[in-house]
Chain A
């Protein structure tokens, strides 16, 4: 849906230039139902960011709780301002520099979309703000990989650069009507709400950053325990709620496809969470709360690219698969000994890859029929799998390479990793001069 919409948007803008004011003054062009749902979705996706802050914040030690929460919150500030200036244009403008990213003069400071209404009968402001929320949460997800050990200043520069050089190009390739991954194969690479753009890119970048920065002081010999799992559980709950905006809002409508995405989302999350605690019960003997939360996320991440094309049974299988694979990935992490502190790669990277690839086997027949028609008669599941694999491969290679370059260069100017004394004192005191909690036992 996102895809069809962008094609028409370009036309609409051209139209708009010639008959300025006509569309805007005519209020009937707006579908109030769709607009109302998109406004709700925009708010729901924003709610995921405090949700993520709580999820991550609860998992770190008490001396780092505010610093970790701030990693999510500061993204709301930085990315919003960048989005206004260049972000929206780079993501949804016309191909520039051979299609590396987009550009549209009208999107600079969003000054040309004041009265635009998309073909989906939704004001373009709503679409732009909805997409902004995705751009905010993606760099915030990365912070989980290098929690408890990065300088706040360097982090701010990092997410700004990462958003410009990794997120915006990738978003343009996958979601803009002239993006090359949007047009690959018969009906494009399937990424309904951000499997490649959001989760794979954030997860893989997190892994690269975690490897570059090294482990936290004392890891893995010193036991590092979460300071408050209750906050983490509440955060996971908010993420689940917000995900309805994330997935069901990505239909940019309020209708059948919205309902399909919403159902798939609920089922995958539940199946993922149940699978995780079942595996844990057999493997460790206890079903943990954090395991349940991890399963929710694994299921949600896996269904993100798939929500628009899979039927409920497919969503359930994706949830089960994602939790199983992510569980193994985290076991492997513990064996390998690298410090992806809050499992940004283990859940978002691995879950995103699992979802983006395995969704191929559960695509609803009507989608395959449309793809076959577009391809001139035939289009098989396997051809689509190749397309998905190409998109996933490009997302992995691009985000890994670019993240390495950004961190390597940034580190020459600003020390990315905290000094030993800053790390021991904790992010809260070192960078913010505050304390998250009053009197608690040391953890």
Chain B
């Protein structure tokens, strides 16, 4: 079992969700976060250009069984990139995969892969 954590652009959330649903990955957790990577964006307030040092992003967390890791990663890669070509842009985000020790369904107390 793995936890897949993806940090993506806010604007790509719809596309990523659509791609995940198409790949039959429906159990996800989404949160609004902010952070600092390579990207710089501009906002405007009263005629002043402002470059925030913390940029709003979306964090998606998905717990998956081994067989679904690649499917999930592929779906996110395809949908979170902002260009039509092979390569995306700075700021498209990152995917982290971490091992998941245990998963428990609170309702039934089930443990392991079947609880995901």
Residues of B contacting A425 in the complex (Cβ-Cβ under 8 angstroms): 10-11
In this assembly, does A114 line the interface, its C-beta being within 8 Å of a C-beta of chain B? Answer: no
Contacts of B10 in A (CB 8 A): 63, 425, 442
B22 in the interface (beta carbon within 8 A): no
Q: Which of B32, B42, B43, B44 contacts A440 (CB 8 A)?
A: B32
Asked if B11 and A434 sit within 8 Å, CB to CB, the answer is no
A441 lies within 8 A of B45 (CB): no
Point out the residue from A222, A433, A434, A440 that lies within 8 Å of B14, measured CB to CB: A222
Bound form: Cα–Cα A442–B15 in Å: 14
Q: Which of A423-439 touch B at CB < 8 Å? A: 424-426, 429, 432-435, 439
Q: Let me know if A217 is at the binding interface, CB within 8 A.
A: yes
Chain B residues with CB under 8 Å of A434's CB are: 43-45
Residue of B nearest to A426 (CB): B11
Chain A residue at minimal CB-CB distance from B13: A442
Report whether A433 and B43 are in contact in the complex, using a CB–CB cutoff of 8 Å: yes
Q: State the interface size on chain A (CB cutoff 8 A).
A: 17
Chain B residue contacts of A426, Cβ below 8 A: 11
Would you call A218 an interface residue if the criterion is a C-beta within 8 Å of the partner chain's C-beta atoms? yes
Residues of B within 8 A of A217 (CB): 14
Is B34 engaged at the interface, CB distance under 8 Å to the other chain? yes
- Measured between alpha carbons, how far is A355 from B24 in the docked complex, in Å? 50
Residues of A contacting B12 in the complex (Cβ-Cβ under 8 angstroms): 424
A284 on interface, CB distance cutoff 8 Å: no
Are the CB atoms of A442 and B58 closer together than 8 Å?
yes
Q: Is B56 an interface residue (CB 8 A)?
A: yes
Nearest B residue (CB) for A435: B43
Question: A440 CA to B12 CA in the complex, in Å?
Answer: 17
A348–chain B nearest beta-carbon distance, Å: 30
Given that A433-B44, A434-B44 are contacting pairs, would A439 and B56 also be in contact in the complex, using a CB cutoff of 8 Å? yes
Q: Does A28 contact B (CB under 8 A)?
A: no
A432: which B residues are within 8 A, CB to CB? 44
Nearest-CB distance from A69 to chain B (Å)?
16
Please state if B43 and A424 are interface contacts (CB–CB under 8 Å): no
Judged by a CB distance under 8 angstroms, whether B89 is at the interface is no
Q: For the complex, is A18 an interface residue (Cβ under 8 Å from B)? A: no
Q: Does A421 lie within 8 Å of B11, measured CB to CB?
A: yes
Subset of 9 A-B contacts with CB under 8 Å: A63-B10, A421-B11, A425-B11, A426-B11, A432-B44, A433-B44, A441-B32, A442-B32, A442-B58
Which residues of chain B have a CB within 8 Å of any CB of chain A? 10-15, 30-32, 34, 42-45, 56, 58
Q: Told that A435-B43, A442-B10 touch, could you supply 4 new A-B pairs with CB distance under 8 A?
A: A421-B11, A433-B43, A435-B56, A442-B13
Closest 3 CB pairs of A and B: A433-B44, A425-B11, A424-B11
